[in-house]
Amino acid sequence: MKYFSLNEKAPDVSFRDAVVNGIAPDRGLYFPESITPLSQDFINNLDKYSNDEIAYEIIQQFVGDEIPEQELRTIVKDVLCFDFPVVPIEENIGSLELFHGPTMAFKDVGARFMARCLGYFNQQEKNDKDVTVLVATSGDTGGAVASGFLGVDGVNVVILYPSGKVSEVQEKQLTTLGQNITALEVDGAFDDCQDMVKTAFLDPSLKEYRTLTSANSINIARWLPQAFYFFFAYKQLKDTSKELVFSVPSGNFGNICAGMIAQKLGLPIKEFVTGTNVNRVVPAYLESGIYEPKPTIATISNAMDVGAPSNFIRIEKLHDFDIEKLRSNLKGFSYTDEEATAAMGHLHKKHQYVAEPHGAIGYLALKNYLKTAENTQGIFLETAHPVKFLDVLYPGVAETIELPKQIKAVIDQPKTAIKISDYKGLTDFLKS
Ligand SMILES: *Cc1c(COP(=O)(O)O)cnc(C)c1O
């Protein structure tokens, strides 16, 4: 499979190069040159296949012959070592729980897939120099990347996080793994971490020391495997006579965009709903037709605090850059922290369901959509386990949550992080 840059000023590349480079030299996002629907027979009989088989069928065309079949099947199996249940909440509403993986964030699937692809290429090419994955995190991404890449040969991971600004669980997930993972605790905000990472990628003085690559959500190997979830949900539907709608709480819009790939592959999805927090660039665009990125506003659903969603261009591409086409396939609603908290309270009291703020926004958006929809089954994506957001759950709920085994395994481990306060601190570390 070839990938082209959405800025159209860079050469087409292979799957391997798109994964290793992350972003095209013209700063554009990579996009597959074709998307071939899967057979209707396969889709109608999804429940007869294992998740591993389904995932292989989906991802195969995007990898092409660059990873041999047996190897790719092993990678997929290894990535998907946990469940993706749809939990019924109320009539016509289910929660697709994407948080049963090693770090309890939906980003586990993409991070694990990307790590194994990079590991495979590195091993094939017998590179004598390790690759260094450099990533800045505001919380969730770092843990998923650290765990996804743990122990992968030939790859080192360096994670920058803002000191005192990630939750205790998230910090432990970043700083206790050891091996090929190093955490740099930055005296600053998330934006400072992000700026340092961007500067490092363009810094020629680092070239002789490190081969740097990124693991953020614009990488195709993190983005495309997210299409799996929507098939796994469809497979669990008992009644397929209703029309199917997914509600996806969104920040960078990678997850929902992968859902639209699933739709292109033939999955019968009527349309998508997105819920955002007050960082509402996309819902505002759907309303007004004016696309206006904004500085981010901090909220309790902080993994969606994004003022300029990086994957939105891919969504536009999937709708031929035609806002009317987009409007007929995507509805958008946004919610304040108070509304998200009230929704968590409602879900807990009325349905005995513990949601965290991101999932709660997905639920609210879906409820809103269903007010005017008939004969429709809605599924919202619950993107993280509530234990990762203990300090912002509905009052009194945090105390009722038992620590899952994945969290128990890290919470009492000693933290190891290198403190840095400026860009020189980062380059000193990378050159050492
Ligand atoms: C990253 C993240 C999101 C947003 O996903 P996008 O693909 O960036 O839209 C939502 N919820 C949680 C918990 C996340 O970590």
DSSP letters, 278-298, are: S--HHHHHHHHS---------
The gap from C-alpha 81 to its chain's centroid, in whole angstroms, comes to 17
Cβ 29 vs Cβ 311: under 8 Å: yes
The residues with which 86 forms a beta bridge, in sequence order, are 96
The Cα 166–Cα 195 span in angstroms is: 18
Question: How many angstroms is it from 249 CA to the middle of ligand 1?
Answer: 7
Determine which residue's CA is closest to atom 8 belonging to ligand 1.
Answer: 252
Question: How many angstroms is it from 301 CA to the middle of ligand 1?
Answer: 9
State whether the beta carbon of 254 lies less than 6 angstroms from ligand 1.
Answer: yes
Question: How many angstroms is it from 303 CA to the middle of ligand 1?
Answer: 5
State whether the beta carbon of 217 lies less than 6 angstroms from ligand 1.
Answer: yes
Question: How many angstroms is it from 251 CA to the middle of ligand 1?
Answer: 6
- Residue 10: the pLDDT is 95
Q: CB-side exposure of 328: number of CA atoms within 13 Å?
A: 7
The Cα 142–Cα 249 span in angstroms is: 19
Tens-digit pLDDT string for the chain (432 aa): 999 999 999 999 999 999 988 889 898 999 999 999 999 999 999 999 999 999 999 999 999 999 999 999 999 999 999 999 999 999 999 999 999 999 999 999 999 999 999 999 988 887 777 889 999 987 788 899 999 999 988 899 999 999 988 888 889 999 999 999 999 999 988 888 988 998 898 899 998 899 888 887 789 999 999 999 999 999 999 877 999 999 999 999 999 999 999 999 999 999 999 999 999 999 999 999 999 999 888 899 988 998 889 999 999 999 999 999 999 999 999 999 999 999 999 999 999 999 999 999 999 999 999 999 999 999 999 999 999 998 899 999 999 999 999 899 899 999 999 999 999 999 999 998
- Residue 75: the pLDDT is 97
State whether the beta carbon of 384 lies less than 6 angstroms from ligand 1.
Answer: yes
The residue to mutate among 100, 167, 173, 252, having the most atoms of ligand 1 within 8 angstroms of its beta carbon, is 252
The Cα 259–Cα 394 span in angstroms is: 29
- 346: which 2 tokens? 């409602």
The Cα 78–Cα 148 span in angstroms is: 11
In ligand 1, which atom is closest to the CA atom of 257?
Answer: 7
Closest CA to 32 of 70, 59, 69: 59
Question: How many angstroms is it from 276 CA to the middle of ligand 1?
Answer: 10
In ligand 1, which atom is closest to the CA atom of 139?
Answer: 15
Domain ranges of the chain: 83-106+223-402
- Residue 36: the pLDDT is 98
- 285: which 2 tokens? 């665009």
CATH architecture, domain 83-106+223-402: 3-Layer(aba) Sandwich (3.40)
- Residue linked to tokens 């260094």: 132
Sequence letter at residue 217: S
Q: How many helices (H) and strands (E) are present in the chain, helices listed first?
A: 18, 14
Element (H, E) at 198: helix 190-201
The Cα 51–Cα 235 span in angstroms is: 9
In ligand 1, which atom is closest to the CA atom of 251?
Answer: 9
State whether the beta carbon of 255 lies less than 6 angstroms from ligand 1.
Answer: yes
State whether the beta carbon of 107 lies less than 6 angstroms from ligand 1.
Answer: yes
Determine which residue's CA is closest to atom 14 belonging to ligand 1.
Answer: 303
State whether the beta carbon of 250 lies less than 6 angstroms from ligand 1.
Answer: yes
Whether 331 is a known active-site residue: answer: no
- Residue linked to tokens 């300029």: 308
Question: How many angstroms is it from 123 CA to the middle of ligand 1?
Answer: 31
The residue to mutate among 137, 138, 140, 382, having the most atoms of ligand 1 within 8 angstroms of its beta carbon, is 140
Question: How many angstroms is it from 48 CA to the middle of ligand 1?
Answer: 30
| Catalytic residue, candidates 2, 9, 48, 107 | 107
- Residue 129: the pLDDT is 79
